[in-house]
Amino acid sequence: MRKLFIFFTFLLYTVTTLTFPPLTTSASTSCRTLCGNIPINYPFGIDVGCGSPQFKAMFNCSTDLYFTTPSGSYKVQSIDYEKNTMVIFDPAMSTCSILQPHHDFKMSDIQNALIRPSYDTVFALLNCSNDSPVHNRYRNLCFNAAGHSCDELYSSCASFRIFNTTTPSGNSTVHTTPYCCFTSYDTVRVMSMNILDCSHYTTAIDNGKMRGVAPLDWSYGIELSYAVPEIGCDRCRKSGGTCGFDAETEIFLCQCPGSNNNPTRECGGGMTNQGGFNSTNINHTILLIMFMYFVYSLL
């Protein structure tokens, strides 16, 4: 009789533990979800093991969020998680109101594959020489930027008027402006500013509202379009977890509130946000009960 009592006590404990695991929601995970006023959601992360491993070490957070590439750190102005776009600003880039020293914008190979500038981003190459490739052999890389011209850019922007020159012609003077080129990121990706033989560049986002807008009021910045790796993050989020990865193996990890983050794909021992149980846990419980009954029958 004592053996029977011990058996059923242990059986009840096992079923309760495996089928109804405790849910802890009071503690927080180690992944921050905000930097400044920018929300941090999957696939991005600013802490070790957070977000997707493909984007690791691309972001850093001080008082603001910065996106890091081989050419520098760029302040993140906004992230649209529905459209999968992010807008960054280059603090060393020339704009309509300030002229900055010459430099290149570079991205790593993995960044070019995952989070490259969108085709809405217009790169304006300024003060290009007559020998510039985009003024000769590769003129086809330049396009019309919503009806805007180089002359408009040079005359409207105080910082670019320095490129205007005047030459005497008889009893009058002739105003001339150097060549410029509106182009896409692909051009500056394969050719540096030295090869392009242009002294400065600026970028603006043509989101359909650039036409008819003076250069002083353009939306300056670089819009990046990114891809989201599909590794089951929705399942993790619905169970109350935060999508991340193991820092050593880079295997997907659903970080659960109050847990020690053992490898799992969802939180709550298989509980979903609809309150269903994980069928795998239940099957294991049934098999364990059958095995225990078999052992007891041998006693």
pTM: 0.74
Task: Count the helices and strands in the chain (H runs, E runs).
Answer: 7, 15
189 and 112 Cβ atoms separated by less than 8 Å:
yes
End-to-end CA distance of the chain: 12
pLDDT at 262: 59
Task: Report mean pLDDT in 10-residue bins for the chain, 299 residues.
Answer: 49 47 43 92 91 93 94 95 94 87 90 94 92 92 88 87 66 66 94 92 88 89 90 84 86 77 66 40 51 54
Our CA dihedral for 176, 177, 179, 180, rounded to 10 degrees, sits at: -160
The conformational region for residue 140 under phi > 0 = left, psi -120 to 50 = alpha, else beta, is alpha
pLDDT at 115: 95
pLDDT at 20: 44
